[in-house]
Homo-oligomer: A and B are copies of this chain.
């Protein structure tokens, strides 16, 4: 009973990797918004595994079908149901693994929790589950942009040991991010990251990475103390994504090494509002947006499914060797970009609508 997220702009997702389809019901979408399937398809297409040399070869159209909540191109304020059919199921690829819980995958824990687990693919732990989130988040993004001019841009800031340099968060665009397959706008770093991913794939291995994200043009006042602080909701959203291991906002872990006299962000007048001269806070103070850009980073582990042979045990505890067949990404961060953006949008839309109560 935890497939819902948000309080006012609230989504409920459904679907396993190999059932009839995956989808979402989005409740709380403001009425009278112009909205079409094309608005949603954009991010679904960015999320979709391409046929390129970096991603998996699974080819899924992932066309969204809007089931309800819109009439004549306008939202009614009622729940928007959306469905993406699973066309390419191929459960057989995974069949041989069903008696062996894949190391660092969720087979074992789902079995322990529910006494049953999806026999193929990852069930709800599959990345395919994120389709519903992305479809819903695309609506949230549109609302935030039209209502506030909010822009959300994520990019790959590291793969393995290769990091970006000199990304200017205040101006970076999605077009720049999408300029290469790795979705890293630092061209030199992108080249090294690509090499690392190819090397991992050739070694039948996988590699982790970090996604950075910035939100610009947020009004001050978003975030609900004390338990639904903006950063708490973002952290919750990001750590609910498959394969994530860490979240940091503003100065993050490196901020823990600083002195307050340096870390504090002094106020200055910026046009008709107060702003700050630095932004170690990452755009939040006391859990509430202050009008500066919100930025954060999310750590993704290397994917658990690898082609290499692994020494492990089956569900009965018998030693065995596992080598994954089937399709699998050597690195998830390029595809994670739209997922991080849309989850961010879900958090912000919810908090923005809640703040309307006080206006």
Contact = CB atoms under 8 A, between A and B. Distances in A.
A358 B239 contact: no
A95 interface: no
B8 A77 contact: no
A51 interface: no
A77 B245 contact: no
A353 interface: yes
Interface string A310-332: 11110101000000000000000
Contact of A79 (B13, B74, B206, B287): B13
B72 A119 contact: yes
B358 A113 contact: yes
A94 interface: no
Contact of A245 (B220, B282, B289, B313): B282
Contact of A310 (B4, B240, B264): B264
A225 interface: yes
A272 B136 CA distance: 38
B300 A256 contact: yes
A313 B355 contact: no
Interface string A10-21: 101111100111
Interface stretch (A40-48, A53-61, A174-182, A230-238): A230-238
Task: Tell which of A245, A259, A355 has the most Cβ of chain B within 10 Å.
Answer: A245
* Number of identical monomers bound together in the oligomeric complex: 4
Nearest to A80: B14
Contacts of A221: 109, 112-113
Contact of A312 (B267, B353, B356): B267
B285 A1 contact: no
A185 interface: no
B261 A308 contact: yes
Size band of the interface chain A makes with B? 35 or more
Interface in A103-146: 103-106, 108-110, 112-119, 122-125, 129
Given A25-B25, A208-B257, A357-B357, A65 B20 contact: yes
Given A3-B27, A306-B260, A245 B236 contact: no
Contacts of A359: 356, 359
5 contacts: A12-B27, A110-B288, A113-B355, A242-B286, A274-B317
Given A31-B358, A106-B287, A239-B249, 18 more contacts: A16-B78, A20-B65, A74-B116, A75-B116, A76-B123, A81-B83, A108-B290, A112-B220, A113-B221, A122-B286, A203-B261, A208-B258, A229-B240, A242-B286, A256-B299, A256-B301, A264-B310, A356-B357
Q: Which 10 A-B residue pairs are closest in the complex by CB-CB distance?
A: A106-B286, A246-B248, A1-B28, A206-B260, A2-B224, A109-B288, A2-B228, A260-B302, A269-B317, A236-B236
